[in-house]
Structure 1
């Protein structure tokens, strides 16, 4: 049978079964936008011919990585809010108030390019102005599962003193909800199914009960998921207790949110009992170790969630807090931080971290029928990783195989030499094929400069960041 591509003589990591599904001297056949067959090089070479045969010797072929929670629109503010206790109000808000829709789009494309170069093929993008940002995914060729960030809070929320109840404005909520509905109606299953949509309530503390119930009803109407921050910080819990007399998870249970539609992001402030309750409800957890570690100094309860039988995924979150939107980084962080938290080096093994960035993530976001593993009939979203990079060398296959731990604990993402999405290479030989990377960076730099000039008068006078600048620490 004739196909478009055959990649052979490679290590093929399918992520099928309970482990990683490794095939040594493996091969994969790709026709149109789907995987035609996966097997040994001998079997694939016998049964298929191709327009292009790629020699995968000393390479690894694996499923594309899935970033299950990312705000690409604020990539334009990378690194402005680190090493402080109040990262949002003192660090982020002075800049955010000057970010335009055009800035969001430019920062988003930079974030997307960063992710692709480090092997991300599916982005669960969750941000404002998503009807504009989604065009970036059309241009670059990545897979996207997008949601508009919906809340009822004003743009100057950062000026409200910590501890005061957030004001809600229904006109803001209606406008943002209508943006999310327009996104669903215009973009769901667009680009040959490469773009799909969800609903994006910002958090239970940032919108009225009436709007939350309306979004729950819409999720049922559109048969989609609700991508939402849950128990993401002590400020959220404080708001919920003051407004409703309940913590977030008890409140969500009461209003019917704890079910298989919910993607609960962070759970940073969830107790062990609350974590187990969410896991047993069928809701999924998205863990962002790098972001929460830097912003809050906390290890989210993903281990407890998994032990309770829950399905979880990994995300990189946002560049102003995490700096790095690289799923290799997230795999390493989630494993090491949970080993430290447990004081047990045997917990959270490398293969688990890999599964949480591939097949388990696909299950969490509802795309396991299409992506997350290399299997005949699934979409051809895959990576070719150079195992002869110093960080992946040497290759040892017996008496143990070292590829999986090296991917998680040693790889940086720069080892990815090719990225295929929907059967098309969007990166080869480490070069993005669909857009100009240099132009993307230059455009984002100009936008960031304009924002920073406008923000100078808004930096908190006693900001630790400003003090570090003045002392020469930054």
Structure 2
């Protein structure tokens, strides 16, 4: 039994309960107790961590749309439609060793920034399963699958199904495999049918891209005579088993389709802004009844994987879009980064909040940083300015401790389950080599998808 005592707890439960002097008891992989400090509950042989009121515990963050990579900061100053063909060169040249080092570096960055669960879409994802098993985090793996020529250099439905057979449920369930599809321009109706078959046969979820840039929606209307969301509906893809990345340009009708189906949207505000896609109407999505979570979109276009940044930017962009300072407050953003993410993955009963009976996935932030002080409380309630600091003043490297399924993966800001220096050195060498091969493939650059 592990006991974390005298800790501030941000539970993100249904009441957004905050406990000023709290205690967490972890038995094996799950929470046995989450509540007020009660020393009498602590077993004699418990391993005790006394936080002395100087740490806050909160659920591990959940990144619901990520693309691992070793290549960042090179495909810059391009709008999405022009950016995609350049990004595709990475996939033309990606080897299993490239992918392995990308997962090692990316998952290290995620853990150090407090992200305990990642929904990842990339290549050679058996390597992702192995790395996640070694490091200890949770992953949902959606292979980057495409089959429409000339985009048939990605993963296939067959490799996706093999990944499900080999790795779904591995490492005590921390590795989950999904049916992954790039998008409606890269993937045929046949590939979408195969994804549905895998969902029905193996019970796996499906992850794909929704509309990201207005120009994509214009092209969809020209090619298919309908929006991307309507085409997904026609192909039978909308359901509570589906999470959609982005959905920046989206109509009221399409929001209703997604809401009625129970699908979730993974909102990536920083990459949307950086690629000139615009600001998603998240307020209207939620009013329509859609569950909206947060994603980083990975280093390829975001340049970092930091859900604390995503919370802040997402809030500010909605306040600006709707000219309303009252919306998307700190509590709202904490839910988007945790329990909403769990709901996007069908895991809301297991992770996403600190509650007895759930898996012990949590992060601890030390309060010994100028931007987090002073911590003030409303003496007649549990209201505290700390919530606002966690969303609007927090840096990922303020995370001190990361625990997943009861196992401590990060302590005092350093990874315990692998060699950080070796990961960085290996990523550096592999990344330089990958970049060389990628640059040599520029003669295979495809034209942007636009009509």
How high is the TM-score relative to the length of structure 2?
A: 0.92
Say if 1:272 and 1:50 are closer, same or farther in 2 by CA, change over 3 A. Answer: farther
Q: Is the 8 A contact 1:267 1:275 kept in 2?
A: no
Measured at CA, do residues 455 and 285 of structure 1 come closer, stay the same or move farther in structure 2, by a change above 3 Å? closer
Q: How does 1:402-441 map to 2 (within 5 A)?
A: 402-441=385-424
The answer as to whether partners of 1:303 and 1:338 remain within 8 angstroms in 2 is yes
Alpha-carbon distance in 1 for matches of 2:373, 2:209: 39
Q: What is the rounded CA distance, in whole Å, between the counterparts of 1:329 and 1:239 in structure 2?
A: 32
Cα distance in 2 for partners of 1:196, 1:448 equals 27
Return the alpha-carbon distance in structure 2 between the equivalents of residues 297 and 226 of structure 1.
24
Per the TM alignment, residue 245 of structure 1 is displaced from its structure 2 partner at its CA by 1.9
Query: CA separation in 2, counterparts of 1:309 and 1:81?
Result: 36
The alpha carbon displacement at 1:199 in A equals 1.0
Structure 2 counterparts to residues 141-180 of structure 1, below 5 A: 141-153=136-148, 157=151, 176-180=156-160
Describe the SS at the equivalent of 2:354.
Answer: coil
The offset of 1:364, in angstroms, is 1.5
Name the residue aligned to 1:119: 114
The equivalent position to 1:131 in structure 2, one of 115, 118, 126, is 126
Q: Which has the higher helix share?
A: 1
SS in 2 for 1:9: strand
The correspondence for 2:281, drawn from 298, 301, 321, is 301
Q: Which residue of 2 aligns with 1:109?
A: 104
After TM superposition, the structure 1 stretch with the greater mean CA deviation from structure 2, 81-90 or 105-114, is: 81-90
Q: Secondary structure at the match of 1:316?
A: coil
Report the equivalent of 1:310. Answer: 290
The question of whether the paired residues in 1 share the 8 Å contact of 2:5 and 2:49 is answered with yes
User: Is the CA contact (8 Å cut-off) linking 1:80 and 1:91 kept in structure 2?
Assistant: no
Whether the 8 Å CA contact 1:275–1:301 is kept in 2: the answer is no
CA contact (8 A) 1:205 1:239 kept: no
Instruction: Go from structure 1 to structure 2 and tell me whether the alpha carbon gap of 1:277 and 1:331 turns closer, same or farther (over 3 Å shift).
Output: same
Aligned to 1:233: 213
Q: Counterpart of 1:164?
A: none
The CA distance in 2 between the partners of 1:143 and 1:334, in whole Å, is 24
Q: Report the number of matched residues.
A: 438
| Change in CA separation of 1:311 and 1:455 when aligned onto 2, cut-off 3 Å | closer
Change (3 A) 1:259 1:414: same
Q: Conserved in 2, the CA contact under 8 Å of 1:189 and 1:195?
A: yes
Contact 1:64 1:121 in 2 (8 A): yes
How big is the alpha-carbon RMSD for the aligned residues of Structure 1 and Structure 2? 2.0
TM-superposed CA distance for 1:275, in Å, is 2.1
1:203 lines up with 2:183 in the alignment: yes
- Unmatched segments (≥5 aa) in structure 2: 444-451
Aligned to 1:6: 3
Alignment match, 1:187: 167
Q: Secondary structure at the match of 1:276?
A: helix
Asked if structure 2 preserves the Cα contact closer than 8 Å seen for 1:64 and 1:419, the reply is yes
Report the CA distance between 1:452 and its aligned residue.
2.9
How far did 1:421 drift? 0.7
